[in-house]
Structure 1
Amino acid sequence: MNIYDFVNPMDFRYYGADPGFFERLRPYVSEAAFFEYQRRVETALILAFRELAWCSSKHAGEILSAFNSVTATEVYEEEKRTGHIVRALVNCVTRKVSAEAGNYVHLFLTSNDTTDTATSLRFQELLCDVVLPDLLDLLATLIRLAEQHANTPQIGRTHGQHAVPITFGFAIALYVDRLGGRIQMLEASRQNLRGKIAGAVGAYNALSLQIPQATVLFEKLVLSYLGMQPAPGSIASQIVQPEFITDMGYAIQSCFSVLANLADDIRHLCRSEIAELQEEQSADTVGSSTMPHKVNPKNFENIKSLWKAYMPRMTTLFMDQISEHQRDLTNSASQRFLPELLTAFDYCAVRLNRAMSGLRVNSQAMSRNLNANKEQIIAEPLYILLALQDCPNAYEQVRKLAREAREQGKSIMELARQDPTLRRYISKMRPEQQQILDDPAKYTGQSSQRTLAVCEHWQREAEKLRAYLAQEKAVLSNAESARFARLYDQLRNIENGEALPQAFCPAEDRRRVIEEWMELRQD
């Protein structure tokens, strides 16, 4: 099939058009990847059966081998006959094993135990392995840019008009802080993605026939093989409570909005009449089919455009929270598009990082734009300094001066010094205060200091998160039996009547559990 026969531009223009990006995301967002994650959920069940001796090692080996050999193509061909994708997977596996072993395939599960858990798991790993590292790379680029220009004066703008000076580094540091906060929010939502092994209506009906005293413990055990936890109250319907995915989607959309806002700000600063920034482009890049001189901020425009396309998907996520009774199918088709959101979001993070890394900063243009209106922008410091000298009606006096200065083509300070009363107050000001009135480029407040402090803070936070993500990946890639020993001991004790069943067995904080496993590895 030709890629240009596809309908979705994400496939042929963005995700599919960049081989490196495609290969990094394909193991998580593709339909073939979703099949692999479903297979992992089903095999986790068999591993638990084997360890508890609910099925023999021989039968477990047959099943695990069959799951490893079945292909997505086989399953989707079988679905054409059954009309049910999970039952198609089960059928394909059971054909490859003995009748006795086949009884254990998908035992106690319902389809959404498999699919919802697989969905949470693939997004959990996609965020850990790809998206969060890409966001941290972007954050590092912004930190470098902010620190580099911590002292580069720039006119601040409100309502599109000149306000008072800042530094360019300060403008970028604001995005460092906003992005850093969104990254932490996204990581929190990732940690809170949940799975379920609770059966057709979430009440453990089928599992209760085997181990009524410890259904929740068994669910936690199977999910532990995947590095996951059930809902905090270990309660569900046929589906995992939808709020966990909704929260993740909101965290993504909120972060996406920060990227779009940054891209839009940079785009405006690239305008010909402002020219403070310029996007780096190759010598062969064409900006117009008819105007050879054009150099457009294309990357920044595309990021905002993709945000516009995917931001409304949040409405669908909110609507998908509604599922009648124990479950209906009205969220099935709509949820299939969720991987597109993560793909578009990460694509924009990578593209924005690349564009920001090559951004050309014209400090001379920043100085020129600041000085072009310097006679007006000293109005605020003049008013504040006069007020501090107890000058009556300081704000109103400076406001009138500003209007007169515009009408007469003079500077505010020229008119202020011509006024005997104001001149007396100005003479009382400290030398460094008077310097600000003559050179507003010095009126940047705490821009430089806040820039460096914010960058230092997020540098530390980013390093901590990078280290944790690497450790989590390492511990989950190694299935040491010690990880599950406590749960197995509890289950066996309950089965043997040596311990009382727990009426309420709350899910544990996932990160705390992961960190406990990290300590086990060190021991």
Structure 2
Amino acid sequence: MPALPPQPISPLDGRYRAAVSALGDHLSEAGLNRARVHVEVEWLIHLTSRGMFGAAPLGDEQVAQLRAFAANFGDLEIQALAEIEATTRHDVKAVEYLIRGELHRLGLDAVAELTHFACTSEDINNLSYGLTVKSAVEQVWLPKLRAAIAKLAALAEQHRDAAMLSRTHGQPATPTTMGKELAVFVYRLNRVVAQLEASVYLGKFSGATGTFAAHLAADPSADWAAISREFVESLGLTWNPLTTQIESHDWQVELYGKVAHANRILHNLATDVWTYISLGYFRQIPVAGATGSSTMPHKINPIRFENAEANLELSSALFDTLSQTLVTTRLQRDLTDSTTQRNIGVAFGHSLLALDNLERGLGEIALDTDALAKDLDANWEVLAEAIQTVIRAEVVAGRSTIADPYAVLKDLTRGHRVGADELAAFVAGLDIGDEAKQRLLALTPAGYVGAASALVDHLADPVANQSL
């Protein structure tokens, strides 16, 4: 059998590429190298702008040319970098040589030795990961999460008055509304979004063991900590003053924990909507030309929610692994974080794919209010809670002498289906005040939803201002 041409191993780079390709600008190897070039160029500009070691500050045109080189990092630079790395066998050193080549082309050989000056590879890498993860989260992943939340919030508002039977422990329970139940997920997710928006992305730039030793050897009079801090903050990151050779990755652990938390809330949403579909509460809208089963023509399978569920599990597992690995380094440095961090994009990719499935899936379902009404009308026994609670209030108010109202209703309803007429006859014979009796006689399962509809209004609460 002839060998296939080179094929992607990960489905994210194959079958699902269209759904996750936006992450490639940030969390691919090319995206990382572009960020490395950007950091190296900015460090060179940072040093020359201060006239370090007598270097003349670069002119505006030279600065613009160097920044354009970093910003326009593309296929030619990727190929050139690969050729250099084939010799250096070191990715960051290859970036340094690539930039030196550009400096030579621009006639800036006089400042070439300030390229990668006093840097360890991790000075460049940690800032590059900080920049790429930050941009991926803020420009790709969070907008997709917000879009899915917006779709869910619209459904919550649309169905805020749609009474349905609750199923605590999978059993018929006090009714609610579909809108309120969906709003619960919106509120939960909005809290995590607020936490993610407050994330801090740290960066270090202090040399081989975090001591500025080489810097001070070159110029003992310079305030290298201040220079480092100003540089890191100029990139939009938060300076970490106390590190080993590496930035300790704690900000990544914190961030990935929050993303995994969002994943698990979304997983809960996917399984709940799947269950509502199986109960007939939601009907799936047929997609023209789509096939649900290879053998059963009638089927429309809830594949959007099933795919989301599986991809959220993969993403969360990867983020858990990232967090467990990245939180530890042996003494001042080991290399376990190198391969680990190259899978950040994979973890976000599976989450992004799940969000795409959820957003599309939520747009392909319609509420079956007849099914909801039928289910409610078949479970009048759920009013037992209301009846025993009203009796207890009547006892306290001195309008009833019924002993142990809960036990009375338990005997009537536990394990039994009780119809409307049977329940009405039971209420009519109760020893309670007339006003309370009339309230109970007017009650139906569909009307026993409390403040469910009004609770949806809390989606307008300033969730971001809550204690996080």
TM-score range, shorter chain: 0.7 to 0.9
Distance 1:364 1:387 in 2: 34
Farther-moved stretch of structure 1 (67-76 vs 349-358): 67-76
Partner residue of 2:453? 448
Q: By how many angstroms is 1:397 displaced? A: 0.9
Q: Could you report, residue by residue, the CA deviation over 1:302-325 in whole angstroms, capped at 9, with x for unpaired residues?
A: 000111222222134212211111
Q: Is the 8 A contact 1:401 1:412 kept in 2?
A: no
Determine which of 85, 96, 112 is the counterpart of 2:122: 112
Match for 1:332: what amino acid? S
Determine which of 156, 165, 172 is the counterpart of 1:146: 156
Determine which of 244, 248, 257 is the counterpart of 1:241: 248
Distance 2:409 2:141 in 1: 51
Distance 1:26 1:401 in 2: 62
CA distance 1:17–1:131, shift in 2 (3 Å): closer
Partner residue of 1:292? 297
Determine which of 196, 206, 212 is the counterpart of 1:204: 212
Distance 2:191 2:375 in 1: 32
TM-score by length of 1: 0.79
Q: By how many angstroms is 1:244 displaced? A: 0.6
1:13 paired to 2:21: no
Q: By how many angstroms is 1:404 displaced? A: 7.9
Q: By how many angstroms is 1:385 displaced? A: 0.8
Q: Could you report, residue by residue, the CA deviation over 1:73-128 in whole angstroms, capped at 9, with x for unpaired residues?
A: 22222222222100111122223425532211100211111111111111111111
Determine which of 276, 285, 288 is the counterpart of 2:281: 276
Distance 1:211 1:246 in 2: 35
1:354 paired to 2:352: no
Partner residue of 1:225? 234
Determine which of 73, 92, 98 is the counterpart of 1:92: 98
Map of 1:72-87 to 2, 5 A cutoff?
72-87=78-93
1:103 paired to 2:113: yes
Q: Could you report, residue by residue, the CA deviation over 1:23-47 in whole angstroms, capped at 9, with x for unpaired residues?
A: x322112211111111111112112
CA distance 1:186–1:424, shift in 2 (3 Å): same
Map of 1:18-417 to 2, 5 A cutoff?
18=19, 21-22=20-21, 24-54=22-52, 55-58=55-58, 71-96=77-102, 97=104, 99-189=109-199, 192-209=200-217, 210=219, 214-231=223-240, 234-271=241-278, 274-313=279-318, 314-374=320-380, 376-390=381-395, 391-403=402-414, 405-406=416-417, 413-414=423-424, 416-417=426-427
Distance 2:213 2:153 in 1: 53
TM-score by length of 2: 0.88
Distance 2:392 2:69 in 1: 82
Distance 1:66 1:383 in 2: 75
Instruction: Give the gaps of 5 or more residues in structure 2.
Output: 396-401
Distance 1:51 1:412 in 2: 87
Q: Is the 8 A contact 2:427 2:437 kept in 1?
A: no
Q: Could you report, residue by residue, the CA deviation over 1:215-237 in whole angstroms, capped at 9, with x for unpaired residues?
A: 22111221233111212xx1111
Q: Is the 8 A contact 1:41 1:114 kept in 2?
A: yes
Match for 1:369: what amino acid? D
Q: By how many angstroms is 1:378 displaced? A: 0.8
CA distance 1:51–1:430, shift in 2 (3 Å): farther
Partner residue of 1:498? none
Partner residue of 1:472? none
User: Does the residue aligned with 2:376 lie in a helix, a strand or coil?
Assistant: helix
Farther-moved stretch of structure 1 (296-305 vs 67-76): 67-76
User: Does the residue aligned with 2:167 lie in a helix, a strand or coil?
Assistant: strand
Distance 2:139 2:69 in 1: 28
Match for 1:319: what amino acid? T
Q: Is the 8 A contact 2:277 2:283 kept in 1?
A: yes
User: Does the residue aligned with 1:432 lie in a helix, a strand or coil?
Assistant: helix
Distance 1:166 1:182 in 2: 25
Q: By how many angstroms is 1:414 displaced? A: 4.7
Distance 1:117 1:2 in 2: 39
Q: Could you report, residue by residue, the CA deviation over 1:370-407 in whole angstroms, capped at 9, with x for unpaired residues?
A: 11112x1111111111111113201111100114854x
Q: Is the 8 A contact 2:314 2:347 kept in 1?
A: no
User: Does the residue aligned with 1:13 lie in a helix, a strand or coil?
Assistant: coil
Match for 1:287: what amino acid? G
Instruction: Give the gaps of 5 or more residues in structure 1.
Output: 465-523
CA distance 1:412–1:53, shift in 2 (3 Å): farther
Match for 1:334: what amino acid? T
Percent sequence identity is 24
1:435 paired to 2:442: yes
CA distance 1:198–1:47, shift in 2 (3 Å): same
User: Does the residue aligned with 1:368 lie in a helix, a strand or coil?
Assistant: helix
Distance 1:66 1:282 in 2: 46
Q: Could you report, residue by residue, the CA deviation over 1:28-73 in whole angstroms, capped at 9, with x for unpaired residues?
A: 1221111111111111211211221223235975866765677122
Distance 1:312 1:149 in 2: 34
Q: By how many angstroms is 1:281 displaced? A: 3.9
CA distance 1:435–1:235, shift in 2 (3 Å): same
Q: By how many angstroms is 1:170 displaced? A: 0.3
* Aligned-residue CA RMSD (Å): 2.5
Q: Could you report, residue by residue, the CA deviation over 1:344-383 in whole angstroms, capped at 9, with x for unpaired residues?
A: 2122223212221332111111111111112x11111111
Farther-moved stretch of structure 1 (386-395 vs 246-255): 386-395
Match for 1:306: what amino acid? N
Distance 2:307 2:30 in 1: 28
